[in-house]
Amino acid sequence: DSGDARDPEPRASEAAATPAMPTPAGAGEATPSPAPETPSDPAAIRAHLEALDPATTRAGHLRFTDPLLRDAQATEVFAARLAVEATPAEERQALAEALHRTGGAWSAAILTQLEREADPEVRVILVGTLAKAPTADALAGLRLGLGDADSRVRRAACELAGWAPEAGAVEAERLVAALGDDEAMIRAAAARSLGLLGDAGRFAAVAPGLEDSDAEVRLQSLRALERLDRSRAAGLPEVAKLAESGGDPRVKRAAGKLRAEASP
């Protein structure tokens, strides 16, 4: 099993609850530093944004934190800075993460950059920050991500489908297709998002994941099936088998808990 240590023990309510949207890579509390007086003149604001440096989070990542990120100019400035490929990779990743927190037409800027971005790590971040975009933009980003050559970007797109359900529902068939991907991380992400989308008609498509060779895929398939139809999932012979010998302690506990709670 390749998924044995990737997911901490879930809380008791994990299987039935809708989890919180994950924080994009590089996000986190940044180390505070003394800030100069915030400029108010448009030209001064632009100059400030063009010169703004990222702070370092407690986790060691770079992250932009400044009140002027909410200014409409910030989108244009940060998009222009991100387009400079000579900028160090970690700073470009921080710029990509910050775009969705800027005050302008940030989702359009993300899509523009996503179409031309060469660094897959940046593409992963861009796709992952579209969850709160208007549905049309989230759908456009989802389609770009699902068709990406890099498996990490495709996984991010599968995850996005669950966080942007109106867009995800449009591409549900591609999520079903992703259940057969060669990469376990994509199969797991697709199963999870199909569960979050809540279409019980996808139950039969997700169920084979209970017998996947990868523990994470089995776990996410189990959780998805529980969301789609709890009583039906509890009665599956595959779930009974996992509860007896899931091959992974997380899978075994989750299956056993489902069966115990569903028993009359």
Task: Give me the CATH number covering residue 173.
Answer: 1.25.10.10
Whole-number percent of the chain with pLDDT over 90? 82
Q: What is the pLDDT of residues 59-87, one digit of tens each?
A: 999 999 999 999 999 999 999 999 999 99
Q: Is the pLDDT at 33 greater than 90, yes or no?
A: no
Within this chain, do residues 161 and 59 fall inside the same structural domain, yes or no? no
Residue 80 lies in a domain: yes
Within this chain, do residues 173 and 250 fall inside the same structural domain, yes or no? yes
Within this chain, do residues 58 and 111 fall inside the same structural domain, yes or no? yes
Calpha distance 81→26 (Å, rounded): 17
Quote the mean pLDDT of the chain.
90
Instruction: Show Cβ contacts of residue 164 under 8 Å, excluding neighbours closer than 6 positions.
Output: 130, 131, 132, 133, 135, 138, 139, 142
Distance of CA 211 to the CA centre of its chain: 24
Q: Is the pLDDT at 18 greater than 50, yes or no?
A: no
Q: Which residue has the higher pLDDT, 8 or 38?
A: 38
Residue in the block written with tokens 């039969």: 204
Which pLDDT score, from 0 to 100, does residue 245 have? 84
Within this chain, do residues 142 and 110 fall inside the same structural domain, yes or no? no
The pTM score is 0.84
Q: 156 to each of 25, 73, 143, how far by Cα in Å?
A: 11, 28, 11
Mean pLDDT of 95-110: 98
Give me the number of domains the chain comprises.
Answer: 2
Within this chain, do residues 104 and 83 fall inside the same structural domain, yes or no? yes
Q: Is the pLDDT at 151 greater than 70, yes or no?
A: yes
Mean pLDDT of 239-245: 94
Residue 227 lies in a domain: yes
Calpha distance 163→100 (Å, rounded): 15
Within this chain, do residues 57 and 169 fall inside the same structural domain, yes or no? no
Q: Which residue has the higher pLDDT, 255 or 246?
A: 255
Residue 242 lies in a domain: yes
Which pLDDT score, from 0 to 100, does residue 13 have? 40
Calpha distance 234→126 (Å, rounded): 37
Residue 108 lies in a domain: yes
Q: What is the pLDDT of residues 191-232, one digit of tens each?
A: 999 999 999 999 999 999 999 999 999 999 999 999 999 999
Last residue of a domain, one of 69, 97, 121: 121
Range of 111's domain? 22-121
Which pLDDT score, from 0 to 100, does residue 262 have? 77
Q: Is the pLDDT at 244 greater than 70, yes or no?
A: yes
Q: For residue 243, which of 263, 264, 262, 260 has the smallest C-alpha distance?
A: 260
Residue in the block written with tokens 């710029």: 95
Residue 261 lies in a domain: yes
Q: Are 49 and 71 in contact (CB under 8 A)?
A: yes
Residue 126 lies in a domain: no
Mean pLDDT of 90-108: 98
